[in-house]
Structure 1
Amino acid sequence: MTLSSEYMALFSLLRAGLWEREPDDLSPFPLTDDEWRDVYQMAVRQTVAGIAYRGLHHLPDVLLPGDDLMIRWVAQAERIEQKNKLMNSVINRLYQQMDHHGLHPVLLKGQGVATFYEYPLLRECGDIDLYFSTKEEMRKAAEIMSQAGCRLEGLPDGSDCYRWQGVEIEHHVRLLDFSNPWLKGCLSTLVAKYGFIDQPLTGNPSTESPVTVSVPSPLLNLLLLNAHLLKHIMGHGVGLRQFCDMARAYHRLQGCYSPEELEAVYKRTGLMKWSVQLHTFLTEHLGLHRAELPLMDMDACTSPELLHIVLEGGNFGQYGDTKGKVSQAKWERKLHTFLSFWKHRGFSNAYARKEAFWTSIKLIIGNLK
């Protein structure tokens, strides 16, 4: 797949912003005002405007966009920072609420992954995902938030979703999202073996005491992020932010886990072939050093189909043509989910055949209900 000069420029900015270094490819520059507007819109759609903004700091002055767009980009970066501060403040209060009732949830993805970045507040945030180790803990958490005035909605995967203090929050009782039922015992063993660690949440407002959150251990975190990427690629799609998260996680967690053990886990869970393609993308397009990866195997190049899925759909595929609208009827949203999986079945079967098979079975059963 041949990339346009705008996409080449975006990837160059992302590499510069991810690793805080001079751009390694200036061939797409200079850009016209229209081309710069396209790059900015691409960054916004992919929810990487903050990372690309950091890349602009390393671009020679003569190659920067015009003042009008720079003002828009600075304002967007400021909005991202303010939303992250709100998110961290909500997490702080949420953990205090849970701790008061004897609950200790695990923070998944999101703000926990943001700590892997040089500038955590410029990683665009989404919602808050909390994991509870038992259904009883999750039930108790639901009662607590209901009493706090929240209206909880049950999701098809058994999670609870609600809005609190302006932020979307989800409670999960499953840590690792695999469809293959034969992996259930293996995954439970992995969670028990590697467990969780405590880490401070960075970027809290200065008026609040910093909170320490529980997050998956390094190996579990990498497995979680990897499987999460694959799940969305097989479905509606996924954007560049999740690949940036994966790159920063490998970079920051190097030396904190056993590469041999992670390789064995990837093989056992059926993620090996997909992981080789994922690593190829991370090194080829996002500049991650091969030495920071747990595997040395690489594909010859990034799959054109993977590039198409990522660049077409944007953040979680919301700009693709198979994403269902929230306002649609339940059966229509189910149909759109199945159609998106069907659209990506070629890639899914090529790189994660077993998981793709069980995901299709799960979707078929879900559509019959």
Structure 2
Amino acid sequence: MANVVRDVFFSLLQSGLWNRAIELSGSFPLNNEQWREVFIMSSNHTVEAIVFDGLNQLPVEYFPPKNLLLEWTVKVDRIERRNLWMNKIISQQAKFFKNLTIQPLLLKGQGIASTYINPLHRVCGDIDWYLQNKKDYDAVNRKLSNLGVEITFTAGFSCSYSWNQCEVEHHKKIFDIHNPFSYGFLRKIEKEEFNKKQELTIEGETVFLPSPLLTFVQINAHILKHLLSFGIGMRQLCDSARICYVYKDLFDGGKLKAVYKRLGILKWIELLHVLLVKFIGLPKEYLPFPMQEDKNADWMMEEILTAGNFGFYDSRVNLEKERADNVRVDSVSRLKSNFLKYIPYAPMEAIFFPVTQFYSKFVH
């Protein structure tokens, strides 16, 4: 990939994410092939609508060719429509839970989208709910089964089902932390933060979000989980940056740092912070605690760029076979490679991630 394409991608991404003017450089204007690469890169990282917002900050003479601009516009329109549709689904489900006198927490997705300048431009995959105790988890699933909804239990102490053709997941665990020696500490933190949960109105219904501190741990642990498996997209980094920006004064940064340290992931978080500032454009004063200036995280960004969203665009593997068979290829070698990359920065997570994923397949 040519450097000019990468430079333009990050310039447009930062412009769209923060509503900043673009500093025009020698990278502009792009030719048609370069614009196509920027579009593909944006799509592979599910940030095409954010990059599109940045594109609209350019002078008209620097725009992509008309056919690509039309294709891009249509794709953004689909993203907006899907988000509006998903908001209706969340509203329906909020009523369903209210009738059961259960208040789950909405994780990731539309809750995090609310921290964006234009929430409709954040690509959302499915709907994730955290049921805070086994009684509620079982009661909701039992009610769904009685209604004829087919539930599939998945690794990670979760289950999934389709609600009006929308994929929904229920989770027994709020955090993707795999070190079993941390579970007691996590329960303690969750209990301390319980009354700090946030409220969000979606389509006239109130939904509940984790507290800002719990959101940081939940979102960033989720990023680490996917880096330990097959990869993550730029969208998840944007999520992390936006919560830094919006939640800046809503929690204790020192406490959050202590939590990361207790979980054994602080060294990795410090790398993540470098990425958020250097590549995503987060002003460093919005980090929850001061950045370690001497950290080099370029290698991690290279890995993220190569693998693409959840590793679905990793050119190092046989993608045709993976898509044809709908199954991951070269799983063992990919997991081993990621284990070696991240064990210096999050050793307990690297060790226990595969163990927990295997074990949780048999526990519903």
Cα displacement (A) at 1:270: 1.1
Q: TM-score, normalised by structure 2?
A: 0.92
Q: Cα 1:172–1:365, aligned 2, differ >3 Å: closer, same or farther?
A: closer
Q: How does 1:144-293 map to 2 (within 5 A)?
A: 144-195=143-194, 196-202=196-202, 204=203, 210-293=204-287
Measured in 2, the distance between the counterparts of 1:10 and 1:153 equals: 38
Q: 1:83 maps to what in 2?
A: 82
Q: How does 1:93-132 map to 2 (within 5 A)?
A: 93-132=92-131
Q: TM-score, normalised by structure 1?
A: 0.91
Cα displacement (A) at 1:297: 2.8
Where does structure 2 lack aligned partners over 5 or more consecutive residues?
Answer: none
| Greater Cα offset, 239-248 or 148-157 | 148-157
| Greater Cα offset, 182-191 or 136-145 | 136-145
Q: 2:67 maps to what in 1?
A: 68
Cα displacement (A) at 1:25: 5.5
Where does structure 1 lack aligned partners over 5 or more consecutive residues?
Answer: 205-209
Are residue 345 (structure 1) and residue 345 (structure 2) matched?
no
Q: How does 1:25-44 map to 2 (within 5 A)?
A: 26-44=25-43
Measured in 2, the distance between the counterparts of 1:364 and 1:162 equals: 21
Q: Cα 1:224–1:179, aligned 2, differ >3 Å: closer, same or farther?
A: same
Report how many aligned residue pairs link the two structures: 359
Cα displacement (A) at 1:107: 0.3
Measured in 1, the distance between the counterparts of 2:322 and 2:190 equals: 35
Measured in 2, the distance between the counterparts of 1:234 and 1:336 equals: 14
- 3-state SS of paired residue (1:350): coil
- 3-state SS of paired residue (1:345): helix
Are residue 19 (structure 1) and residue 13 (structure 2) matched?
no
- 3-state SS of paired residue (1:286): coil
Measured in 2, the distance between the counterparts of 1:140 and 1:327 equals: 38
- 3-state SS of paired residue (1:154): strand
- CA contact 2:50–2:122 (8 Å) conserved in 1: yes
| Greater Cα offset, 52-61 or 111-120 | 52-61
Measured in 1, the distance between the counterparts of 2:324 and 2:192 equals: 42
- CA contact 1:236–1:340 (8 Å) conserved in 2: yes
Identity of aligned residues (%): 31
- 3-state SS of paired residue (1:26): coil
Cα displacement (A) at 1:257: 0.4
Q: 2:137 maps to what in 1?
A: 138
- 3-state SS of paired residue (1:351): coil
Q: Cα 1:24–1:298, aligned 2, differ >3 Å: closer, same or farther?
A: farther
Measured in 2, the distance between the counterparts of 1:365 and 1:91 equals: 31
Q: Cα 1:27–1:227, aligned 2, differ >3 Å: closer, same or farther?
A: farther
What CA deviation, in whole Å up to 9, does each residue of 1:65-94 have, x standing for no partner?
A: 111111111111100000000111000001
